[in-house]
Amino acid sequence: MNKVIKIENGTKQGVLNFLEHLITTDKISGVLTLRKINEKGICDYGFISDAKELKFADPFAPVMPINAAQTLSSLTPTTKPIAAIIKPCELRGFVERVKRVQGSMKNVLLISYTCGGVLPLNTFQGDGSEKIIADYYNAISKGETPGSIRPTCKACEYFVPMMADITIPLLGNSESESECSLIMNSEFAIQISKEFQCEIITSELDSKIIDKVLAVRISEKEKLYNKTKVTKDGLDELVNIFGKCVGCHGCSRVCPICYCVMCDFESHNFDYNIEIFETELEQKGALRLPPDTVFFQIGRLAHMSFSCVGCGQCEDVCPANIPVATIFKKVGEATAGLFDYIPGKDLEEAIPVMIFKEEEFEEIGK
Amino acid sequence: MDETKFTPKIVGFLCNWCTYAAADLAGSSKTEISPLFSVIRVMCSSRIDHNLLLTTFFNGADGILIAGCHPGDCHYDKGNYYARRRYALLKNVMDTLKLEPERLELSWVSASEGKRYADVVNEFSKKIEQLGPNPIKKSSVF
């Protein structure tokens, strides 16, 4: 059981009231949140430091213009506390980045919520999006899975935030229009909200709703995995799927885990010079251009799949419509499972390739 | 050369301190070793990263053997433990994608184990010969 702040207002308005209090009483210097940038409802992430600007905030908008983990790590470390309202997978991405010394949890009030998934960027911003978004909110208030969300969101088991200072029950919360509860998970959250005038109770997330959604998500995940043939038919299917790759590397640019300024795959290490072309042509008689697209994908899988938080951003931005996220999620589940690792679950849990145990994999190399 | 007969090309990444010395010992003891091996000497088995292995496969190697000091005997104290994790990781990815993970192998061979080196190499060569050529080798779609 945790301390819970009860606000007599809709969830969205309640959260904004709370943030307004934190900003005006100078508890935080600002908040990172989704906000509307025009009447059409287009959203971006904004860092808001003036309470007046909060009227544009739309913290629960079902869209991920970027994975906020990237932005949040550029805002930290900060000397004055800030707040961030982000989705559970973005939070996990942020934790993974902090593990890689690309940010700091210190002085960041992490607010997250039980997530109903996000719409693909084109759906959120496209024609008829108003109805789709209305249907979305309707479905998640009943704890259902909206049909329009990203495939990886439908299959996401980690919709309950991990490592959040404050958790907001949104998914399956039929009262979200009329009441707002903020579940305090950390001492930092309790301290910072001490002066906020409100009713305080003790409560926790409704486990019945969580279990119900989890069961649906797991069965959706199986369906999604069965649909992708890449893990069944080996090299041929891999070529079939990644053969469409245009080599833009957009998937790694938007990935919350891929932080390297100089990506190995974009370095000169794998440049083709005329000698290599000639050798390849001598052996094969023909050559794919641009080369190494499959190599890039397998290399990236081996390099970071164990930290994949399954946000689906890579798949969303892929100009060739390759189901990148699904493949990364599935391969990532296997690689992380090898080390009993859940990306973004715990800051103390070291990245698998950075540590070892003497007594493990003892059958290898015998 | 007879085109129909498959002669595998196998690359061995050998640790300088243990397995490379073992290979030397095997040679100077005149042990019979499979000639299909191209040996690359590395300072430690942990020097080998995934991209190095994948590049080797994509450039047409039929098999890759990584070999280094036994766990606990690393010249740099613990390099081989990291190598073991990384190997398990890539093997797992290859396994999930059904990319013939058996083409990749790791073995611990210490400097005094010249005979073991020959056995490991010969056995692995036989395995790769049975597996046949790496499908990437002749394909122009990569």
Supply the pLDDT for residue B2: 53
Out of B58, B71, B85, whose CB is closest to A295? B58
Supply the pLDDT for residue A199: 84
Contacts of B72 (CB under 8 A, 6+ apart): A358
Supply the pLDDT for residue A152: 94
Alpha-carbon distance of A31 to A46, in angstroms, equals 8
- Closest residue in chain A to residue B99, using alpha carbons only: A234
B29 located within any domain = yes
- A-chain CB neighbours of B55 within 8 Å are 270, 295
Both tokens of A235, joined, read 């090299």
B142 located within any domain = no
- ipTM associated with this complex: 0.89
- CATH number (domain holding residue B77): 3.40.50
Out of B55, B86, B93, whose CB is closest to A353? B86
User: What residue numbers bound the domain in which B54 lies?
Assistant: 10-131
Q: Is any Cβ of chain B less than 8 angstroms from the Cβ of A296?
A: no
Asked if the model's pLDDT at residue B123 lies above 60, the reply is yes
Q: Which residue has the higher pLDDT, B67 or A228?
A: B67
Supply the pLDDT for residue A307: 96
| Entry field: residues in chain A | 366
Supply the pLDDT for residue A2: 87
Adjacency order of strands within the sheet including A31-36: A43-48, A31-36, A82-85, A108-113, A166-168, A180-184, A2-7, A199-203
Strand (E) or helix (H) holding A326: helix A324-338
Per residue of chain A (366 residues), what is the pLDDT tens digit?
A: 888 888 888 999 999 999 999 999 999 999 999 999 888 788 999 999 999 999 999 999 999 999 999 999 999 999 999 999 999 999 999 999 999 999 999 999 999 999 999 999 989 887 888 899 999 999 999 989 998 999 999 999 999 999 999 999 999 888 888 889 999 999 999 999 999 888 888 888 888 999 999 999 999 999 999 888 777 778 888 888 888 888 899 999 999 999 998 888 888 887 778 887 888 788 788 877 777 788 899 999 999 999 999 999 999 999 999 999 999 999 999 999 999 999 999 999 999 999 999 999 999 998
The shortest C-alpha distance from A358 to chain B (Å) reads: 7
Per-window interface: B 104-133 vs A, CB < 8 A: 106-108
- Stretch B40-67: mean pLDDT, rounded? 93
Per-window interface: A 98-117 vs B, CB < 8 A: none
Per-window interface: A 192-221 vs B, CB < 8 A: none
Q: Are A112 and A189 within 8 A, CB to CB?
A: no
The shortest C-alpha distance from B28 to chain A (Å) reads: 24
Supply the pLDDT for residue A244: 87
A-B Cβ pairs (cutoff 8 Å, strict):
112
Q: Which of A327, A307, A331, A267 is nearest to B51 (CA)?
A: A267
Please report, for chain A, the start and end positions of each structural domain, with discontinuous segments joined by +: 2-223, 228-354
Beta strands, E only, chain A: 2-7, 31-36, 43-48, 82-85, 108-113, 166-168, 180-184, 199-203
The shortest C-alpha distance from B60 to chain A (Å) reads: 9
Per residue in B94-119, pLDDT (tens digit) is 999 989 999 999 999 999 999 999 99
B113 located within any domain = yes
Q: Is any Cβ of chain A less than 8 angstroms from the Cβ of B98?
A: yes
Test B93 with A305 for CB contact under 8 angstroms: yes
Alpha-carbon distance of A282 to A222, in angstroms, equals 44
Test A301 with B51 for CB contact under 8 angstroms: no
Asked if the model's pLDDT at residue B1 lies above 70, the reply is no
B49 located within any domain = yes
In chain B, how many domains are there?
1
Asked if the model's pLDDT at residue B137 lies above 80, the reply is no
Strand (E) or helix (H) holding A99: helix A88-99
B3 located within any domain = no
Supply the pLDDT for residue A268: 84
Alpha-carbon distance of B75 to B80, in angstroms, equals 9
Q: Is any Cβ of chain B less than 8 angstroms from the Cβ of A287?
A: yes
B28 located within any domain = yes
Alpha-carbon distance of A73 to A94, in angstroms, equals 7
B138 located within any domain = no
